[in-house]
Chain A
Amino acid sequence: MQLPLNPMQGVVLAAALMFGTAAYAHHGWSWTQDEFFELKGKIAAIYIGNPHATLDVDAQGEVWRVEMAPPARTIAAGFTEEVAKLGDAVTAIGHRSREEAEKRMKAVRIIVGGKRYDVYPDRLPPA
């Protein structure tokens, strides 16, 4: 029997095709820059839920996606849908994407209404 590819070659080719399209990841911190980054703006959307809690932040007309911790951890830090509303001024401290063009960051601390919510307390910038 003549095959264009044997099964193992098929699997390897399929894997190569899929991995070749993966530019970055939002799990973990590998996709973010090492330096700290601060974003100030107004809350455009709040999502506290599975699989990740996120904020959309309007910074001078540019809408950024701010990722926080998984919902259990974000709520444990005190940040719930009740503590912030659309239009509130917000400061997000964390790390932005290595892709400079990408308006996306992962926050370790969120400041709303003068209150700090440390969603990744073990990763805060040195005080």
Chain B
Amino acid sequence: MAEFLAGIEQLALARGLKASFVAYPIVNALHIMAVGALLTSVGLMDFSVLGAFRSLPHAPFVALLRRVALGAFGGAIITGALLFSVKASTYAAMPIFVVKITLILLAGANFLAFTRLTRTSGVAESAGGIAAVLAVISLGLWTCVLFAGRFIGFL
């Protein structure tokens, strides 16, 4: 594992990013942009499950937000992996980083549970209380992911 992480740091891309005064801040900014879009779209979907935005047509609203969320998640993964690669062994050894990855996996499991629930019971509103609980969990988890991610730079 240690060798694998050290190997990541030796990749040409990681070495270039470590030394670059332009690329690193740009990747950093793109990561923030992706995370912001992700939390906004996920948050709007969660609030809509909880009964907000009733005046908007539900299906196209959710379809758009889900597309934004998945695209933003992909962007966050790519930019996050780039930032990680610069000091892979350092970050992997940080408890707050492990916490963040665990929270992302939990949020992913929560998303899968939600899609299963709404597939079996139709739309989210009819899924009732369980869907609302999952939406609250989603809001909590993604907010914690954001804070954990920011604290990587401060611990």
Q: Is A101 an interface residue (CB 8 A)?
A: no
Q: Is B53 an interface residue (CB 8 A)?
A: no
**A45-79 to B contact mask, C-beta < 8 Å, 1/0:** 00001110000000000000000000110000000
Dominant secondary structure at the A interface:
loop
Interface residues of B in 111-155 (CB under 8 A from A): 128-129, 132-133, 135-137, 139-141, 143-144, 147-148, 151, 153-155
Q: Which residues of B contact A127 (CB under 8 A)?
A: none
Known: A18-B147, A24-B154. 19 other contacts (CB 8 A): A3-B132, A6-B136, A7-B136, A7-B139, A10-B140, A14-B139, A14-B147, A17-B144, A18-B144, A22-B151, A22-B155, A25-B155, A26-B153, A26-B154, A27-B153, A49-B19, A49-B87, A50-B17, A50-B19
Docked-complex contact B86 and A50, CB < 8 angstroms: yes
- Chain A nearest CB from B137 CB (Å) reads 8
- Chain B nearest CB from A105 CB (Å) reads 16
Q: Which residues of A contact B18 (CB under 8 A)?
A: 49-50
Bound state CA distance, A18 and B141, in angstroms? 11
Docked-complex contact A1 and B129, CB < 8 angstroms: yes
Q: Which residues of B contact A50 (CB under 8 A)?
A: 17-20, 24, 86
Residues in chain B within 8 A of chain A (CB atoms): 17-21, 24, 28, 46-47, 50-51, 86-87, 96, 128-129, 132-133, 135-137, 139-141, 143-144, 147-148, 151, 153-155
Q: Which residues of A contact B47 (CB under 8 A)?
A: 7
Q: Which residues of B contact A23 (CB under 8 A)?
A: 155
Q: How many residues of A contact B (CB 8 A)?
A: 27
Bound state CA distance, A18 and B150, in angstroms? 10
- Interface CB pairs A-B, < 8 A, 20: A2-B129, A3-B133, A5-B136, A10-B136, A11-B140, A17-B144, A18-B143, A18-B147, A18-B151, A23-B155, A25-B154, A26-B153, A27-B154, A49-B18, A49-B19, A49-B86, A50-B18, A50-B19, A50-B24, A50-B86
Q: Is A83 an interface residue (CB 8 A)?
A: no
Bound state CA distance, A17 and B20, in angstroms? 35
Bound state CA distance, A5 and B153, in angstroms? 30
Q: Which residues of A contact B139 (CB under 8 A)?
A: 7, 10-11, 14
**A1-45 to B contact mask, C-beta < 8 Å, 1/0:** 111111100110111011101111111000000000000000000
Bound state CA distance, A75 and B135, in angstroms? 48
- Chain A nearest CB from B52 CB (Å) reads 9
Docked-complex contact B153 and A3, CB < 8 angstroms: no
Docked-complex contact A18 and B148, CB < 8 angstroms: yes
